Amino acid sequence: MLIIDNATVTEILTMKDCIRVQEEAFRKLPEGARVIFNLYVVEGYNHREIAEMINISEGTSKSQFARARQLLQGMIAKINAKTTKVAAAQG
């Protein structure tokens, strides 16, 4: 088995699949939730800063972030369940 920096090819492909699933789920988020999630997680802004930037309340920023996180978890779980069923059927 080929090993690249202590990771097998299978592990690398699995990581790529995980990234693909996360990106797919992220693109499906409603725009407001996606923007806030990106600003908070990727850009590193806090909810007060986000609220000021896009002219919403801090509470709205927090609730949209929670909504985004909940939606992402659900979408990723569904995608993973489908992938597991397909893999089981093939193997």
Mind listing the pLDDT tens digit of every residue in the chain (91 residues)? 444 566 676 676 677 878 888 888 899 999 999 999 999 999 999 999 999 999 999 999 999 999 999 999 998 888 777 766 665 666 6
| Global pTM value | 0.72
pLDDT of residue 80: 74
CA-to-CA distance for 42 and 52, rounded, in angstroms? 18
- Two tokens, residue 32: 């407001």
Report CA Rg, the chain. 17
Per-residue pLDDT at 43:
97
DSSP helix/strand/coil, 91: coil
